[in-house]
């Protein structure tokens, strides 16, 4: 059976899916057409139910839950891994509502978390996540919400953290922060959905057998990153929740969905 599969080119996703899409494990008769795109692109595509299997921001789940089901494996969820609000200099929290803020997509969990923390902030500018640091540096925006590997590079560029959005979430809810998950369309038969879930689990298990060595597949999609940054990225966003969300992970997703509904 041939299926299209979408995920980001970031090291956490390529690390998880490498063995599956490159036949390093027994794929049990499945073959995959991969679409590597920025997560906000995947979010938009999901609104059209374009891909059978796709990585999505948890924030968009409410909009697509009639079409998609969340799998247990492959998620980015944890503690100390949330988006950061950064700027060129310290800015009082009460002034943030008046600033122009760059966000990495309207449907991202990063935007949802920022909106929960600063509900009065209305001046947002949607940008590709990798362009936000420079937009802050050159004054195109007053501040920005950064995700992915930018957590490890903003200080090197002289930028400062105004708030850790994940930390804010953890302190106010007690839950780990759900960032993104792997979703599969509900029109795919249930036994196939379960089989794909197990294959993603096995793919990640295989990836760990060679870690901290990085495969050519991971490195080829993160060409501008130092290998140490790639490992930091994987260590931050890939964990036991990625192998299996479990009860705690599912409860965290439910908590985020409730917060999104209130928004």
Distance CA 254, CA 197 (A): 20
Please write the tens of the pLDDT for every residue from 45-73: 999 999 999 999 999 998 999 999 999 99
pLDDT band at 149 (very low <50, low <70, confident <90, very high): confident
Print burial letters for 191-217: b (CB count within 10 Å at least 16), e (below 16): eebebbbebbbbbbeebeeeeeebbeb
Q: How far apart are CA 50 and CA 128, in angstroms?
A: 21
Predicted local confidence at residue 234, as pLDDT: 95
**In this predicted structure, what is the pLDDT of residue 46?**
97
Inform me whether the pLDDT recorded for 261 exceeds 90.
no
151 has pLDDT over 90: no
Q: Are 158 and 166 in contact (CB under 8 A)?
A: no
**Domains in the chain: ranges and CATH:** 2-77+176-262 (3.40.190.10), 84-173 (3.40.190.10)
Per the model's pLDDT, the better-predicted residue between 129 and 249 turns out to be: 249
pLDDT at 220: 96
User: Is 56 marked as a binding-site residue?
Assistant: yes
* The predicted structure's pLDDT at residue 159: 96
173 is in an annotated binding site: no
Q: At what angle do helices 165-173 and 109-117 cross, to 10 degrees?
A: 60
Mean pLDDT of 124-150: 93
Q: Which two tokens stand for residue 181?
A: 């998950």
The reply to whether 110 sits in an annotated binding site is yes
What average pLDDT score do residues 184-190 get?
Answer: 98
How much is the pLDDT for 237?
94
Rounded percentage of the chain residues whose pLDDT exceeds 70: 100
Residue 220 assigned ligand-binding role: no
| Cis status, amide bond into 60, omega within 30 of 0 | no
Active site includes 148? yes
Average pLDDT over the chain reads 95
Confidence of residue 8 (pLDDT cuts 50, 70, 90): very high
Is pLDDT of 263 > 80? no
Q: 256: annotated binding-site residue? A: no
Confidence of residue 148 (pLDDT cuts 50, 70, 90): confident
Which residue in the list 123, 148, 201, 233 is annotated as catalytic?
148
Per-residue confidence (pLDDT) for residue 71, from 0 to 100: 98
What confidence tens digit (pLDDT) does each residue in 11-44 have?
Answer: 999 999 999 999 999 999 999 999 999 999 999 9
Cβ atoms of 11 and 234 closer than 8 Å: yes
Report d(CA 64, CA 48) in Å as an integer. 9
Better pLDDT: 263 or 161: 161
pLDDT at position 224, please? 74
Q: How far apart are CA 73 and CA 51, in angstroms?
A: 18
Alpha-carbon gap, residue 128 to 190, rounded angstroms:
35
- Give the predicted TM-score (pTM) of the model: 0.91
Q: Looking at residue 45, what is its pLDDT?
A: 98
- For residue 256, name the pLDDT band (cuts at 50, 70, 90): very high
- Split at pLDDT 50, 70, 90, the class of 223 is confident
102 pLDDT higher than 90: yes
């Amino acid at each position: 059976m041939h299926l299209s599969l979408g995920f980001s080119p970031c090291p956490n996703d390529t690390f998880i899916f490498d063995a599956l899409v490159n036949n390093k494990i027994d794929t049990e008769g499945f073959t995959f057409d991969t679409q590597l795109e920025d997560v906000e692109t995947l979010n938009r595509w999901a609104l059209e139910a374009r891909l059978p299997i796709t990585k999505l921001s948890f924030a968009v789940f409410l909009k697509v839950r009639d079409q998609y089901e969340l799998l247990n494996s492959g998620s980015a969820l944890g503690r100390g891994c949330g988006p950061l609000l950064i700027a060129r200099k310290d800015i009082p929290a009460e002034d943030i509502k008046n600033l122009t803020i760059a966000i990495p997509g309207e449907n991202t969990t990063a935007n949802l978390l920022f909106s929960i923390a600063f509900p009065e902030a209305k001046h947002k500018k949607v940008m590709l996540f990798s362009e936000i640091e420079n937009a802050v540096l050159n004054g195109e925006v007053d501040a920005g919400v950064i995700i992915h590997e930018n957590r490890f590079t903003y200080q090197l560029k002289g930028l400062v953290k105004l708030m850790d959005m994940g930390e804010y979430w953890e302190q106010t809810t007690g839950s780990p922060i759900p960032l993104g998950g792997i979703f599969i369309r509900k029109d795919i038969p249930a036994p196939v959905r379960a089989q794909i879930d197990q294959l993603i689990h096995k793919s990640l298990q295989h990836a760990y057998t060679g870690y901290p060595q990085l495969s050519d597949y991971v490195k080829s999609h993160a060409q501008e990153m130092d290998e140490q940054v790639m490992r930091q990225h994987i260590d931050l966003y890939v964990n036991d929740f990625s192998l299996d969300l479990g009860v705690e992970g599912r409860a965290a997703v439910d908590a985020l969905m409730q917060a999104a509904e209130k928004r």
